Structure 1
C-alpha cells in the first residue's frame, strides 16, 4: 500500500535516538542511521526527508522519556529530598556502567548543544524546549514549598539546570563520580536554607 511504512517506526526512532546520543549530530550520517535502524537509506529519506528531521523526532522521544523520569524523581515529600533525588538521577545517568547504558553517557541535550555542527535554529529550538521544560518542572517543585529553597524558585531552577548541564561536561573530562557527588552536595547546600 502506498504511503505505508515498511518498518517499525518506534524501533527505528529509538535506534536513531541512541545513535545520535552516542555519536552526536555531526558524526552521524544517513548511512549510519540506515545501518543502526535496519532501514534502507532511501526509505529513511522517503519517510522523514533528511537527517535533521530524524534527529528532531528522535530527540522528541528522548525529551519525553527524560521528562517522565524527572517528574517521577521530583515526587518526593520535601524539596530537599526532591533536589537530592534529581541530582542523583543526573549523576547516575552520567556514570552508568557501559553494559547498562547502550553506549550512551550523560545528557543527550548537552552533547548536541556542544556539537558545532548542530547550530541550525530548529535544533536549537528543540534544545531550548527541553531546557525550558526541565527548568519549569524544577521551578514548579520549588514553588510548591518556597520556604524550603534559599533562592526564588525560578532562580533556583535556572541555577540547577545550568549546573547539571555543566556537570555533564565535567564528567566527560574527569570521569570521576566522587567529584560529581561533591559538586551535587555543594549545589544542595547553596539551594537549601540553613
Structure 2
C-alpha cells in the first residue's frame, strides 16, 4: 500500500533514539541507524527524507515521554518531595547506561552539527514545556518560595542542564542529588526567612 511503512517504525525510532543519544546528532549517520535496525538506508530516506527529519521525529517522541514522566513526579502533593523526585528523575535519566548516556537535549544543544532552526525550536519546546510544568507546580506555593514561581521554575530547569555537565566531569550521582537538594532548600526558603531584628 502506498505510503505504508514497510518496517516496524516504533522499533526503528527507538533504536535511532538510542544511537543519537549515545553518539550525538553530528556523529550519527543514516547508515548507523540502518545497520542497527536492519532497515535499508533507502527505506529510511523514503520515510523521513533526511537525517534531521528523522531526528526530529525521534526527539518529538522523546520529549513527549520525558514531559509526561516529569509531570507525574511533580504531582506529589508535598512540594519538597515533588522537586526532589523531579531532580531524581532527571539525574537517573542522564546517568543510565555504561558509560552514562547524559542528556539527549543538552547533548544536542551543544552539538555544532545540530544547529538547524528546526532542531533548536524542538529543544526550546521541550525546555519551555518543562519550565511550564515546574512553574504550574510551584504556583500554589507562593508563601514558601524565595522568589516568584516563574523565576524559580526557570532557575530549577536551568539547574537540570547544568548538572549534566557536572555529571560528565564527576560521574557522581550522589553529588548531583546533594546539589539539587541545596537548590531546592534555597527556592523553598520563603517560609524560613528570619524576621529582621527590630532596634
SS of the aligned residue for 1:67 comes to helix
Do residues 113 (structure 1) and 109 (structure 2) align?
Answer: yes
Aligned partner of 2:162 in structure 1 is 166
Deviation of 1:171 (Å)? 0.3
Q: In the superposition, relative to structure 1, how do residues 104 and 60 fare at CA in structure 2: closer, same or farther (>3 Å)?
A: farther
Q: In the superposition, relative to structure 1, how do residues 7 and 168 fare at CA in structure 2: closer, same or farther (>3 Å)?
A: same
Distance in 1 between residues matched to 2:144 and 2:23, nearest whole Å: 40
5 Å matches for 1:45-56?
45-56=45-56
Deviation of 1:167 (Å)? 0.2
Deviation of 1:57 (Å)? 0.2
Distance in 1 between residues matched to 2:187 and 2:70, nearest whole Å: 18
Do residues 125 (structure 1) and 121 (structure 2) align?
Answer: yes
5 Å matches for 1:1-20?
1-20=1-20
TM-score, normalised by the number of residues in structure 2: 0.91
Q: Which moved more, 1:86-95 or 1:135-144?
A: 86-95
SS of the aligned residue for 1:146 comes to coil
Distance in 2 between residues matched to 1:151 and 1:36, nearest whole Å: 48
Q: Can you list the C-alpha shifts for 1:98-150, whole angstroms capped at 9, x where unaligned? A: 3xxxx762321011111111111000000000000000000000013222322
Select the structure of larger CA radius of gyration.
2
Distance in 2 between residues matched to 1:38 and 1:155, nearest whole Å: 47
Distance in 2 between residues matched to 1:97 and 1:155, nearest whole Å: 33
Aligned partner of 1:35 in structure 2 is 35
Q: CA RMSD in A?
A: 1.4
Aligned partner of 2:92 in structure 1 is 92
State how many pairs are aligned. Answer: 190
Structure 2 stretches lacking a partner, 5+ long: 193-199
Distance in 1 between residues matched to 2:96 and 2:4, nearest whole Å: 38
